[in-house]
Structure 1
């Protein structure tokens, strides 16, 4: 049964990352709508999707109990803020022609997970993985020098998602209950802000093509599905294993950035090459030390 649980977790994380890898295509279709509006609408629709799923999965009782736990409420609010920050940075990057920057952010996520896993989960790293982090830092430094600016969207994506992964690793809530808590905490605030924005002037969603509005109605489902897969996997496999599978997302984003015509200079390739080298070094197997911290999935 232990092996079966690990296998299901591994399959879930691969599927989740594959869906996220194609997300730039979806958000490009909604490019006429502002990232702020998309974020608030996404929170509301995802919350509604989870509220519909809870009774179907028999999780309504657990959901109600979680709302009565103050510590759980505080944890869910923190993860909700991390999640919404990640969503906004990603949507903003895609709809401002910076898919390559979102790719950079998700390339850094595994290494951020490594650092957070060491600090919070006390997972052993070893010299090779510290070297991997150093190579990635050098790669980011190269990209900063070439671009003449900090890739803020990439940094935000990496930090918020790395933190979210750690928190989901430590939560005891089921996937639907956890995501439902996170989005339901922010959905009412999102609705109020949208109403205030509407009173101040017409929302960009009111001028979007009907086809875009049709695509937007699926945002809740498309958001919930990979996140539920992610949460399911987080409780069954190691944080470092989750980081390894995340290479699927930035690789797909980088390919899409090229297809969308974003410039790829020699300096940019050099920066990415250092990050790729770091990922290769990180992926090399380490000698088992037999410590308690390394046992388990």
Structure 2
């Protein structure tokens, strides 16, 4: 098997786990989302730390925390990913998985806007059209529902700011996420101690099924990230971006076909606009990638360059 094919399969595996995760969190619907989040944080730390110990890279966490700028950036990204995790768990429990999938569909377009604001990037014509279509879809849902699709916007926004923070650090994916959950772990542990000792309402240890599922949150969080990290080193960025749409698509199918959430004409129109926007966005990305490759080939083959 070629390196690229292995990378594509890893990317598909990562997106399949992410996209199927609503099924897992639905099994924990009786556990409060804050408790699920705390366990997800702690068991992710256990899993990630184990991986780094095996790889003999655990010292990378100490180095990240020892650099003030990196530590502050990772503290911000930790808050963003923690909010994103909580919102996703919460959306499943309040039966808004469809909105959650919409959030991950519009995330690339939010990332484009953040690039404009943070780095002064200029929108290409197709990208501008894609953003306009996405804004139209959000306005349509807001008009139909009488309120903004806040779950979608907050998920896309927190993940967008998370990605923005990640651009500012050179730490590897596994080390950086391990550092993030390390920073969050004291809060998560303190919250669970308060639930179990102070309130007597903690689930862990009192229900075998729930206990097992909560411990499983670590591997479910860590495995796709490791697969994604492996894939991103072996597959073209444009291919990675295209395969990533498998994640919200599977979430959307879980919401509509498995959870049977309402999906009316307004939602259908909004999703059609979003899918069209993503088509335009993907076309712009593929065009940019093609130009970059041609320029790279020219620089190698042309002796005058």
Decide whether aligned partners of structure 1 residues 290 and 94 sit closer, same or farther in structure 2, where only a CA change above 3 A counts.
Answer: closer
Deviation at 1:15, TM superposition (A): 2.7
Give the 3-state SS of the residue equivalent to 1:218 in structure 2: helix
Deviation at 1:174, TM superposition (A): 2.0
Mapped to 2, the partners of 1:194 and 1:244 lie a distance apart of: 39
Partners of 1:165 and 1:234 within 8 A in 2: no
Q: Which residue of 1 aligns with 2:299?
A: none
Q: Which residue of 1 aligns with 2:134?
A: 136
Partners of 1:54 and 1:177 within 8 A in 2: yes
Q: Which residue of 1 aligns with 2:264?
A: 265
Decide whether aligned partners of structure 1 residues 291 and 22 sit closer, same or farther in structure 2, where only a CA change above 3 A counts.
Answer: closer
The count of residues paired between Structure 1 and Structure 2 equals: 293
Q: Which residue of 2 aligns with 1:246?
A: 244
Q: Which residue of 2 aligns with 1:33?
A: 31
Q: Unpaired runs of 5+ in structure 2?
A: 297-305
Deviation at 1:242, TM superposition (A): 4.8
**Aligned pairs (5 A) from 1:144-155:** 144-155=142-153
Match of 1:167 among 165, 169, 175: 165
Q: Which residue of 1 aligns with 2:210?
A: 212
Mapped to 2, the partners of 1:265 and 1:128 lie a distance apart of: 28
Give the 3-state SS of the residue equivalent to 1:205 in structure 2: coil
Give the 3-state SS of the residue equivalent to 2:272 in structure 1: helix
Deviation at 1:207, TM superposition (A): 9.1
Partners of 1:132 and 1:279 within 8 A in 2: yes
Deviation at 1:176, TM superposition (A): 2.3
Decide whether aligned partners of structure 1 residues 288 and 205 sit closer, same or farther in structure 2, where only a CA change above 3 A counts.
Answer: closer
Deviation at 1:223, TM superposition (A): 0.5
- TM-score by length of structure 1 reads 0.87
Mapped to 1, the partners of 2:267 and 2:289 lie a distance apart of: 38
Mapped to 2, the partners of 1:128 and 1:70 lie a distance apart of: 39
Decide whether aligned partners of structure 1 residues 235 and 86 sit closer, same or farther in structure 2, where only a CA change above 3 A counts.
Answer: farther
Q: Which residue of 2 aligns with 1:195?
A: 193
Q: Which residue of 1 aligns with 2:223?
A: 225
**Stretch moving more, 31-40 or 110-119:** 110-119
Partners of 1:43 and 1:190 within 8 A in 2: yes
- TM-score by length of structure 2 reads 0.85
Q: Which residue of 2 aligns with 1:127?
A: 125
Mapped to 2, the partners of 1:230 and 1:68 lie a distance apart of: 27
1:81 aligns with 2:103: no
Deviation at 1:35, TM superposition (A): 0.3
Q: Which residue of 2 aligns with 1:283?
A: 282
Q: Deviations over 1:168-219 (max 9, x none)?
A: 3443212321111010101011111222233442325259742232222111
Match of 1:72 among 54, 70, 73: 70
Decide whether aligned partners of structure 1 residues 182 and 231 sit closer, same or farther in structure 2, where only a CA change above 3 A counts.
Answer: farther
Q: Deviations over 1:21-80 (max 9, x none)?
A: 000000011111000000011101111111211120110232222221111111111111
**Stretch moving more, 12-21 or 172-181:** 12-21
Higher-Rg structure is 2
Q: Deviations over 1:221-273 (max 9, x none)?
A: 11111123344556777877654333111111111111211111111111111
Decide whether aligned partners of structure 1 residues 245 and 124 sit closer, same or farther in structure 2, where only a CA change above 3 A counts.
Answer: farther
Q: Deviations over 1:80-105 (max 9, x none)?
A: 11110110000000111111111111
Partners of 2:192 and 2:202 within 8 A in 1: no
